[in-house]
Amino acid sequence: MEFFGSYNPSGTYNFFPSSAELIASAYARIQVRRTEIEPSQIADAIAELNYFLSAFNDAGPNLAQVDMQSLALETTKPTYPLPPETVMITDMFLNYAAGGSTNDAYLYPISRTEYAAIPNKTLPGRPNQYWLDRQQVPQVTFFPVPDGNGPYIVKYFRFRQVQDAVGAFGATPEVPNRALDAIIAGLAYRLARIYRPELEDKRKIDAGEAWSIYAKQDTENVPLFIQPGLAAYWRQ
Amino acid sequence: MLYNDWYARVLNYCAVVSTAVPIGPLGNVSSYTDPYWVMELPRIIEDSENRIFKDTDLLAWRVTDRTGVLVPNQRQWALPLNAFNQTFRKVEQINIVGTSSDPVPADVRQVIDIYSRAYVDWAWPSNSTYNGMPKVAAMENTNTVIFGPAPDQGYSVEVIGPQTQQPLSITNQGTFLSMMLPDLWFAATMVNAMAFQRDLGSMSENPQASVNWEQRYQNILKSAQVEEAGRWYRSAGWTSQNPTPVSTPPRV
């Protein structure tokens, strides 16, 4: 056998399948070949892909879908709607003017119950807490209610839904390269439920392995510090 | 075997006299100038060539046609015809071949993935939206291919597959079948020639004639199929070698 004889990588990083190609790959994993894909199989596949992306959202935060948003607070207004694709707020801080410069103060999340326990919910001041009410259109409520010493600009990191998967015109799923195999394996598992139940168990194992690799990789590589809060203990 | 040799041999085997005078009791057979026989002869050739092609999937009939050019904003494309007005019996591969103005470099092939019609309609539903170099295709019918995305320019197309070749005739004295598989070719034509002589059924004058030729054809066909598999490198162990049943150890 003769070999080409020199190191010759492609030099490109352009591989990214469209949702349609991804669906074809998922079908190939359950032995449905390209020339046998029927309209009903296409409809099921695009639906299952979007169901899977919904589960993908639930398993977040997915780092590729984390972005920073800002919100200008209005005096005496405690509650604001957020963009409906928002799944969860990871971090929020308040940008405010002080001493000729601007500072950032971290805002702490509280639960519905903790918000309900606040005796005077209209107390004005510089907000230091927020309650995220996860409705169809999520909304955030601040406490204390913004006073007139602003302007107060809230900035927050959120993770949002992955954009819808559509099949036409080469549209790609809105996931990073590191998620591709997890997406294809997960979709193949879901399609096996419908079209190749005899392969469902095998594809479930594949999907689990691929998801495990992706979930392990989709993290920020920083040290994790855990320390007891002794200051409050010693104050007492 | 050239056409003239084949023709003389058929006449001899059919006991057709080389005069213009029919003889009995084989008068039904006719002479070689009989208009019915003359009219039937191309059909015998055509039927036999078709039969052998379908039985052996001849590599020799594979054609690579690079004459095609896609039409911008038109996802449907008619397969090219050969000099005998024949299109592909089936399409096995389609390549877009780059020219200097294409997204792919000149003389570089982009292999098109063949999908179902439903898939291509779904993934690339428009003639005029998101056009570009086609990536996928589906057969619309036996003569037409649908590409996706629809081409944005006149890409060169290369189609690979079997095409019916120019049949054996007095003006085309030799074909692959007559020259490379003469035994199979002759047996196939004799089945049809015997049928023409009304020797195909049990009530015929010589009911065993066509049956015998059919048996002979089937026997020759087995060895011809083995040889043809070798031409494709699909024989023993995916090589061109014939199977060797007595060798130890056998080929994989």
Give B185-219 pLDDT, tens digit per residue.
Answer: 999 999 888 877 766 666 666 667 778 888 999 99
CA distance B216 to A214: 63
Length of chain B: 252
Q: Left, alpha or beta for B130 (phi > 0: left; psi -120 to 50: alpha)?
A: left
Contact A168 B122 (CB under 8 A): yes
Select the more confidently predicted residue: A36 or B31: A36
Residue B252, pLDDT score = 59
pLDDT at A28: 97
Q: Which residue has the higher pLDDT, B12 or A30?
A: A30
Mutation target among A12, A22, A42 for the B interface, most CBs of B within 10 A: A42
CB-nearest partner of B119 from A37, A169, A170: A37
CA distance A129 to A132: 10
Quote the DSSP letter at residue B35.
H
What residues of chain B lie within 8 A of the CB of A170, using their CB? 123-124, 130, 149
Q: What is the pLDDT of residue B22?
A: 41
Amino acid identity for residue B217 in this structure: Y
Lowest pLDDT segment from A130-144, B47-61, B229-243: B229-243
Nearest Cα residue to B193 out of B47, B21, B34: B47
CB contact under 8 A, A169 and B122: no
Residues forming beta bridges with residue B163, ordered by sequence position = B88
Q: What is the DSSP letter of B59?
A: G
| Cβ under 8 Å to A: B residues 125-144 | 125-126, 129-130, 138
Interface A-B, measured as beta-carbon pairs within 8 A, has a size of 44
Query: Global pTM?
Result: 0.85
User: Which of B112, B120, B122 would you mutate first to test chain A, the one with the most A CBs within 10 A?
Assistant: B122
**Residue A168 with chain B: CB contacts under 8 Å:** 122-125
**Interface residues of chain A, partner chain B, Cβ below 8 Å:** 18, 20, 24, 34-39, 42, 167-170
Question: How close B240 gets to chain A, by Cα (Å)?
Answer: 17
Residue of A105, A62, A111 whose CA lies nearest to A87: A62
Residue A1: what pLDDT? 67
Radius of gyration of chain B measured on its C-alpha atoms? 24
**Residue B149 with chain A: CB contacts under 8 Å:** 169-170
Q: Is B61 on the interface with A (CB under 8 A)?
A: no
pLDDT tens by residue, B64-79: 999 999 999 999 999 9
Which residue is closest to A43 within chain B, CA to CA? Answer: B122
What percentage of residues in chain A have a pLDDT greater than 90?
Answer: 85
Q: Could you tell me where the DSSP H helices lie in chain B?
A: 3-13, 35-56, 117-123, 176-180, 182-196, 207-231
pLDDT band at B245 (very low <50, low <70, confident <90, very high): confident
Chain B: residue whose CA lies nearest to A33: B115
